[in-house]
Amino acid sequence: MSVQTMDLVAVLSMDSNDALCMGLGKVADIMNAKRRDAGYRRLCDSIRHEGISSPILICRSRTGRPIVFNGHHRIAAALECGIKELPVTEDFLDSDDEDWTAWLDRVDGKG
């Protein structure tokens, strides 16, 4: 998987696996919860001084729908630090596992 950059505003408008699990939906919907987590201040300090060292993982559902799968704390910290472009890497979600397939169907509006 190659690393690309993506506009922060575009990432905030994407669906989020964490938000979907909480009955919400978009990345922007869970930023306040991520900011309350232990270690968040330390992450912000690290990003201010060193930048984002690990890309945000965006997965695409079977229908191509982008979902932020990993990196919610880094997105919240980037927003707070004024970072406009995020390093991202993309993958495609697919599985034969029944639980995983049911989750993907819900994400794609089929379940």
Mean pLDDT of 29-56: 90
Chain center to CA of 29: 11
Q: pLDDT tens digits, residue range 63-88? A: 777 888 889 999 999 999 999 999 99
Is 0.75 topped by the overall pTM? yes
Q: How many Cβ atoms from other residues are within 10 Å of residue 65's Cβ?
A: 15
Q: Rounded CA gap, 18 and 67, in Å?
A: 10
Which of 49-63, 65-79, 83-97 is predicted least confidently? 83-97
